[in-house]
Amino acid sequence: MSKPSVAIHKFSSCDGCQLALLNLGEPLLQLAELVDILHFAEAGPLDENAKVDIAIVEGSVSTLHDIERLKNIRANSGLLMSIGACATSGGLQALRNMADTQQWIADIYASPDVIDSLDKSTPIKDHVNVDLELWGCPVNQRQILMAIRALLFGVMPVDEHDKVCMECKRQQTVCTMVTKNEPCMGPVTRTGCGALCPSVGRDCYGCYGPAENANTQAMANRLQGLGLVDAEVARRFLFINSGADAFHRQGVLSREKK
């Protein structure tokens, strides 16, 4: 029997999530024994139009050409999985959604008419059906492997949407907000990173996006109680996952607060 086929596609991004795959080392070789990787430009194989069982997409949609490519990828794949903050919420580049993109282009480029850029940077799910999202900046290597293996067995992976605080408790990591009075986004951010930053004594800055039932208003009030002014609170939400609904709403509320 032929092995299941996989393709990894890049859109507007820094390539960090693809590098997370490449940096797997020996587990990547083991994965290659389980599946045929037909397209992965970062690693070598090139066949963007290949029909595959699983398509993995990194990056946000920023051009008209991106939309055409994405629809073609969706048509050629059995399952489509978006990975990373760019693909799931628009990423850092979604910060331009709150500005006049065309004016920026006109201010920077001598011939703005040759620039193919949409007014907004949007996640993959805004344009095609997505079967599974893996949040993070970048995604966690363990998550990718577990997700692919589960899909190969016909099982939908568990969606990790617990808060980072729960991960800290499980690891017995000391709370930076309680012990150091440092602003930390852990109470509203989904886990998946293994509470990486708190485990080394620094605060979470929300790179995995909003957790389930994130009480962003309470979080904003707590950040103010720690001494942050409204503009600083807004920047905490309007950062890597500024395009995520829960973070975007609270960020705009804090920024426009009088």
Q: Tokens standing for 245?
A: 């609904």
SS3 243: coil
pLDDT by residue (tens digit) across 88-116? 999 999 999 998 888 888 988 999 888 88
d(CA 177, CA 135): 23
What pLDDT is attached to residue 1? 58
What pLDDT is attached to residue 167? 93
Domain ranges (residues) in the chain: 5-152, 164-256
What pLDDT is attached to residue 102? 87
pLDDT by residue (tens digit) across 226-248? 999 999 999 999 999 999 999 99
Cα 145–Cα 19–Cα 25 angle in degrees, nearest 5 = 60
pLDDT by residue (tens digit) across 32-54? 888 999 999 988 889 999 999 99
As assigned by CATH, the class of the 5-152 domain is alpha beta
pLDDT by residue (tens digit) across 115-139? 888 999 999 999 999 999 999 999 9
Average confidence (pLDDT) over 133-149: 90
d(CA 40, CA 49): 12
Beta-bridge partner residues of 219:
none
d(CA 106, CA 127): 27
Question: Which residues contact residue 26 at a Cβ distance below 8 angstroms, ignoring those fewer than 6 apart?
Answer: none
